[in-house]
Amino acid sequence: MTFEELSIILQEKFQDSISIQNTETLQPRILIEKKEFLLEIAHFLYTDDRLYFDNLVCMTALDNESSFEVVYQFYSYPFEHSMTLAIVLDKVLDKEIDTQIDTENPSVHSLTSIWKAADWHEREAFDMIGIEFENHPDLRRLLMPADWEGFPLRKDYKTQENYHGIKVDY
């Protein structure tokens, strides 16, 4: 199935909840307009007989200065088609100093109830970027120590000088 065919199926089902992006590139994607629809769309991708995306290949998170983005790549082994799905999460910025001012991390629903592979992908995104995954069964740091301060892949991250008496910033 082509990306165009996949996008038509999704547009018929979810209409204004998604938009199609990057159609002229090698990796077009579907953008979820409202994060409330993520779980419903993901469930549809997994259960619809025409799609059956049985594999969450990769999931990553990005800090795009003014927003965060979570990108999912799915593959269907029986139908041998793939798809990229993304969701943008807003950041609250102080325009004068151009840094994030909200104290809460952005959040989106966990996909672990559909794809078990989401578990460690989501933990990595939480650990490195600080995105919270609602209803994740074990959301804790994966790569950094449990008491590490901050999220190393954020654009505004400042490395702490010392960690338990060890100089960190070189």
Q: How far apart are CA 48 and CA 61, in angstroms?
A: 26
Q: What is the pLDDT of residues 125-137, one digit of tens each?
A: 999 999 999 999 9
Domain assignment of residue 83, given as a range: 3-150
Q: What is the pLDDT of residues 8-57, one digit of tens each?
A: 999 999 988 999 987 777 788 999 999 999 999 999 999 999 999 999 99
Q: What are phi and psi for residue 7, nearest 5 degrees?
A: -65, -35
Distance of CA 148 to the CA centre of its chain: 22
Residue 92 lies in a domain: yes
The fraction of the chain above a pLDDT of 70, given in percent, is 92
Q: What is the pLDDT of residues 95-131, one digit of tens each?
A: 555 555 445 789 999 999 999 999 999 999 999 999 9
Residue 166 lies in a domain: no
Residue 162 lies in a domain: no
Q: Into how many domains does the chain fold?
A: 1
pTM beyond 0.85, yes or no: yes
Residue 155 lies in a domain: no
Distance of CA 155 to the CA centre of its chain: 17
Give yes or no for residue 169 having a pLDDT over 60: yes
Give yes or no for residue 154 having a pLDDT over 90: yes
Q: Are the CB atoms for 87 and 108 separated by under 8 Å?
A: yes
Q: What is the pLDDT of residue 38?
A: 96
